Structure 1
Amino acid sequence: MAEDTRRSASPEESRDALLDQLGSANRRRRQEASHQLAIMAKYAPDVLIDHADALEEALFRPEAQTRWECLDALADLAEHDPAKVLGAFEGAEASLFDEDSAAVRLAAFRFIARVGATSPEHSDKAWPLLDEAIQCFHGDPEYRDMLQALIEFVKGDISDEARDALVARVDFDANKGSSAGYIRAYSRQIIDEAKAAAKR
């Protein structure tokens, strides 16, 4: 029996093949590639981090799935080297106010919050976008997940100005409004985390 000499593709070869598909004219191939790249960004970010520009370009593809998968990938890469993904802010801003896809809006919000949490300078860049989205999507189905992203944001290395502005934004829901359930609970948690961060 002949020996099977086939070998598995290396992570780099797999990455390169997926990046080629991400630039394909075929919508389905782009979607499948973006999904696999999002997995790679989570479990092997070092293989992908120097190719964030390809993910950034894909934020302007017409189909929603490619955009939200790439935003998820960029959010994971931001934890490892935020400087490499700063170029994605323009595409993320456009996706943050996508009129047709809640999944795209949420992925953009998470990316911006994740990058914003990495330094005071980045938080000052991220906060105006996050603030506008809070006002636009308050109470929408994706708002629960947005609040969870804000909890992680306020725990990060953000500026005093961004932290104070966030506390002021959620104070009404936390203490004075009629909001019940998750909105009130998460808003109070954001304020508690902000107080804890201020003491550190």
Structure 2
Amino acid sequence: MSEQSQEVRKLAAHALEDDEALGKVVEDLSGSSRRTRQLAASALALVVKDAPEKLDEHAGALVDALNRPEAQTRWECLDILTVLTDRDSRTCEKAIAGAETALFDEDSGPVRLAAMRFLCTLGATTENRSEKVWPLIDEAIQCYHGDIEFQDMLVAVVDFSAGKLSSQVKHALAERMRFDAENSKGALKRRATQIIENVS
């Protein structure tokens, strides 16, 4: 295990035991040091796996952290917000603007994928939200078709398609996936077909 991994684990363990320490790690997300912000985001990504409820009151700080320049802080925070969406979708909805910027980040595949997962999870919660995020999801499906992250993005879209979507979004999603369902092979064809079945 690398020195950085050990540091992250230690930070996360301390934050899980002590709310004051957790607050300090959350504060570090807006610190001036890139390394400190990345360590904080990585530690909080471990915290949310073990005790998501501990981050409920800190969702706003995670939304704010989507404005940091470095990719890792943003993708870790998007992953955390994806977990928190079921717990506090109203606060997480404020992350749409940051997620949109991340979705079209030209330099980082992991940031784009984390944004897609977040938007699909949020959009699946209500019909209204499905309409709000659908234009972004639709554009990403077109932009990244064939990219290395596209298959993982489609897994998120499969989950989205099983959510509480409006009838307009269901129709548009089925239309978007029809070409792949009819003309592709392998995993892409299976996922496209599954999406159409979910919204039919």
The verdict on a shared fold, with TM-score over 0.5 as the criterion, is yes
1:28 is displaced (CA, Å) by: 1.0
User: SS in structure 1 opposite 2:32?
Assistant: coil
Q: Which deviates the most, 36-45 or 92-101?
A: 36-45
Query: Partners of 1:167 and 1:82 in 2: how far apart?
Result: 25
- Structure 2 counterpart of 1:126: 133
CA distance in 2, matches of 1:11, 1:161: 47
SS of 1:153's partner is helix
**Are 1:11 and 1:47, in contact at CA under 8 Å, matched by a contact in 2?**
no
- When the two chains are superposed, the root-mean-square deviation of aligned CA atoms in Å is 1.3
Q: How many residues align structurally?
A: 186
Over the matched positions of the two proteins, sequence identity in percent amounts to 47
1:140 corresponding residue in structure 2: 147
Whether the 8 Å contact between 1:39 and 1:73 is mirrored in structure 2 is no
Matched, 1:193 2:185: no
**Superposition pairs for residues 39-54 of structure 1, below 5 Å?**
39-54=46-61
- 1:175-197 CA-partner distances (Å, limit 9, x unpaired): 1x2x22221111011112223xx
Q: TM-score if structure 1 supplies the norm length? A: 0.89
**SS of alignment partner, residue 37 of structure 2:** helix
Distance in 2, matches of 1:108 and 1:117, equals 14
Amino acid at match of 1:46: E
Determine the C-alpha separation between the residues in 1 that align with 2:186 and 2:28.
43
Change in 2 beyond 3 A, CA 1:154/1:11: farther
Q: 2:29 matched to 1:38? A: no
The structure whose Rg is larger is 1
Structure 1 residue 126: Cα displacement: 0.9
Larger displacement relative to structure 2 (107-116 or 38-47): 38-47
Is contact 1:41-1:74 (8 Å) kept? no
Residue 80 (structure 1) aligned to one of 76, 87, 93: 87
Q: Which moved more, 1:93-102 or 1:37-46?
A: 37-46
The CA deviation string for residues 62-118 of structure 1, in whole angstroms up to 9 with x for no partner, is 110000000000111002121121111110000000000000000001101100000
After TM superposition, list the pairs within 5 Å mapping 1:1-200 onto structure 2.
Answer: 10-175=17-182, 177=183, 179-195=184-200
SS of 1:36 mapped into structure 2: helix
Which residue identity is paired with 1:192?
Answer: E
Provide the TM-score with structure 2 as the length reference: 0.89
Q: Distance in 1 between matches of 2:124 and 2:21?
A: 31
- Provide structure 2 residue ranges, at least 5 long, that are not aligned to the other structure: 1-13
Aligned equivalents of 2:64 and 2:125: distance in 1? 23
